[in-house]
Structure formats: structure tokens, C-alpha cells
Structure 1
């Protein structure tokens, strides 16, 4: 039983064959998924998909790349949606210094507002990080984000920062990059992060794991991530599946 903690089945890439993609995931033992909405277009569809399937849940938040577009009304909307029975987290949120659409100071303010919202509604957060790890960790500490906890989504940095996040009560989620031949840091993280603080994901349709790298990613491929972690840790796939699924269900308060 596998739990893909971060999917974008609400992306345009799945509009033509979403049901078939979900069936393939079930066939590979993926029993739970969280569809992440991150703007005005993707949030309603994330909830709509979650409503259609008992085993699919939703997260709602605002992506840092588009932070400049978020209004107070959007934040209030996210707060209202947090009451929906299928919404289990706030996010994805965070910082992205790769793209230059939203100034860094705007990203930081939107990030802080969403952390405060998550603490207010009592939900975990999902962190997007691209080239901004130091600032993210600093903000998490300053905002006392350990009060809500959450996920370092698709973690792809050094173990030292992962340990800082673990101290704040966060889970570390690994995706396709852990299977890449040249990805040293995720492999170290896969080996050293305690098994009770580890999660798995695809971030589909992005970052497909080896041997599908460069193709459209999909939830069925989370099994490849779990298999690689099992290989690195020298444990069984069943152990990885059991622990990461239990971790996700605990974090998201899923029975």
C-alpha cells in the first residue's frame, strides 16, 4: 500500500486520461493520493477530483511563483476551503528563487501569511522550495511553524537542512530525483532520515523517476521511488510502503 503525497492530477497534462492514470496507480498499489491546488485554476479542480474518489484528498494553497497575484480575498478563500472534509493540508507554499515573476519580499510575505493561516486552522503545510532553502528554514523558525508541522515537498538539498526541518517537526518527502544517477543529496537523505519521518511522492506530471525520466510522470511511478529508497536503506519495499503510508496518514489525519 503506497501513499503518493503530492500529485497534480489537476494539471492540463491529465485532462484527457485522468481516470486511466488513476486506475494504473491503483494497479501498482497506490491506495492514497493528495492532489495539490496552488492557484485560482487548480484549487477548485483539486477539490473536485478529491470529491470523486474516496482515496484521493486535496491540499489548497498559493504557489510562490505566483505570489504577486495573491489577494486577501484569495487567502480568505483558502481559509474557507480548509473546512472541506477532503482538504488535508495548506499548500503548496514556500519560496522559489529560480523564476523571477514574484519578487522575493512578496514571496516571503505570502509564505508567512499562509503559515499563519495553517496554524489558525490547525492544518499541516506543504513546502515548495527552489534555490531558497536557507530563507525557508529561517522563516519556518521565525513563524514557529512547528506548531502546524508539514512536509518538505520533493526534498532535493543537503542532509544538514533536512535535519533542521526534522527538528521543527517536519516530514521529508522524496520524489523522482532520488532515482537519478547524479542525485547524491537525495540518496543521502533517503539513507539518513528516520523512517518514521519519511514520505514519498511523484509531483506528477513533473520529475518522472528513472527509467521514465523526461516523460510525463504519474502516480503509479511512486512505486519506483519507494523501490529506490528500499534499495538505498537495504530494507524491503513493504517496509518503505508501510512506514511512509502510516506517516502520511498520521500527518494528514486520515483514518
Structure 2
């Protein structure tokens, strides 16, 4: 079994499934994907994710606001708001949150305050934190340390080994997406080779970043086996070993039965 540790089920291109997310999930199950974490990027659409998780025993949800979301000050998520929304048995994670200086370097202070609120919510709920970081590796690790983050995932990882090692030392897992299969991603494959197997996760981040051989298409959870195969090839192991390890790691992190 494979587990998609990060997907956005509310954003999938469902034209091939007559607009039905249930059919997209069935296609993924047929491809060997047995669990899904559908990840929140804003609070407006969070109820959709929560409802999906309530309807499907193999779907779980997170709650959080992406660093690139533009919000008026009065709408910024507080730790109290996040903790309240996370008080649901199908909500197993806080995020995604973090820092993205690639698109919005002018909003660093806002992003940092938002990230700190998510870290606090993760600590208070005991639910792992899903971290997005882009062009902000030093500040991301610095805030995780400063705010005493305890557990979570560095998702869709594209940074260097030093950043991965710093996250692992803080108790985090590192999740690789379809980017690891791209021709120009040799540096990321080098990180994939160095990651401890017991700290590795995989994801689609669908509908974004479809792996080879689907690159150029809208991504979806049924393409997760291609990510597992790319990681396996980089490490010189079988895709079955990747599947077993990443499934075990996900269930361990979130306290789920195997």
C-alpha cells in the first residue's frame, strides 16, 4: 500500500471523472494508494476537506492557511482558531503553513507571525505540522527551533541536505513529491539517497507537480506510484521497500493503525 501524505482533493481536475472526487479516489485506490491526507490552504475551503474525510474512511484532513494566502489582518488565523477547527477526529494535522519568499518576499513578517501561530496550534493539539518552505530555508528552520516545534513534515521538499538534516534533528519527516523524478532534479535525488528510510514520506501535492511520465498533466493521487518508483531508483532499492517504509512512517507519525 502507498499513502499520499499531501494532496489537495478539493483542487483536482475532475473532468476525466465527470466531476466526481469519489471516482478520482477509486482510481487512486486501484493504483495501490490506500490512504490520503488532503491538505488545507485556507479556512474557507476547510469544511470541504473535513466533509471529504468524514465520508471516506481512508481520507484524513488538515487545517491551516498557506503562507501565500493574502488575508486582511482581522482574518489572520490565530492559534486559538486553528486549535478549535482541529478538534475533530478526522483532522490529523495542522497546515500547510510555513514561509514562501519566492513569491512574496515583501510579506515576510506576516508569514512569520502566521507560521508561529500554526506551530503553537500544533504544539497545543499534539497534531503534526505540515511545513511549506521556499527560498526561506534559514528562517523556516529558525522559527521551528524558536517556537519549539515538535513534530511534522517538511512537505514537497526541494531544499538541500543540510536543511533536511536540520528538520530531521527537530523530529520532522521529509516528504518527496514528483519533483524527484524531474530530469533537472539531481540535487534532490542526492538528498533522497541520504534521507534515513525511517524519516521518508512521499506525496503527489496534486493537482500540482505531476511526476514523470505524467509531467505536463494535472497531477492526481493515482500517480503516486511513479513518485515511489523515482525515489526507489534514486536510492537503489525497490518500490516495494519505499511503499512499506513510507506507509509505516506515515502511520507512526499520525498514530494510525497499520
Q: TM-score, normalised by structure 2?
A: 0.93
What is the deviation of 1:143? 1.0
Are residue 87 (structure 1) and residue 91 (structure 2) matched?
Answer: yes
Q: CA deviation at 1:100?
A: 2.6
CA distance in 1, matches of 2:237, 2:12: 37
Q: Which residue is 1:175 aligned to? A: 177
Query: What residue number does 2:249 align with?
Result: 247
Q: How many residues align?
A: 253
Closer/same/farther in 2, CA of residues 21 and 101 from structure 1, 3 Å limit: farther
Contact 1:10 1:37 in 2 (8 A): no
2:152 aligns with one of 150, 153, 161: 150
Q: In structure 1, what is the equivalent of residue 130 of structure 2?
A: 126
Aligned residue for 1:232? 234
Deviations 1:10-62 (A, max 9, x none): 11634823122111100110000000112122211111111110000001111
Q: CA deviation at 1:69?
A: 3.9
Given the superposition, is the C-alpha separation of residues 72 and 242 from structure 1 closer, same or farther in structure 2, using an over 3 Å criterion? same
The structure 2 residue matched to 1:66, chosen from 69, 92, 99, is 69
Q: Is the 8 A contact 1:95 1:129 kept in 2?
A: yes
- Provide, for residues 71-130 of structure 1, a one-character-per-residue CA deviation record: whole Å limited to 9, x for no partner: 477433321121101011000000111223971101001101110111011111000111
Pair 1:165 & 2:167 matched: yes
Q: Deviations over 1:120-162 (max 9, x none)?
A: 11111000111111110111111111x2x10000000111111
Partner of 1:211: 213
Q: 1:199 aligns with which of 201, 211, 216?
A: 201
Aligned to 2:139: 135
- State the Cα RMSD in Å: 1.7
Counterpart Cα distance in 2 of 1:69 and 1:132: 23
Normalising by structure 1, we get a TM-score of 0.94
- Which residues in structure 2 correspond to 1:12-51 (within 5 Å)? 13-14=13-14, 16-51=19-54
Q: Which runs of 5+ in 2 are unaligned?
A: none
Provide Cα deviations, 1:156-202, integer angstroms capped at 9, x if missing partner.
01111111111111100000100001102220111110000000000
Q: 2:43–2:64: 8 Å Cα contact kept in structure 1?
A: no
Maintained 8 Å contact 1:179/1:228: yes
Structure 1, gaps ≥5 residues long: none
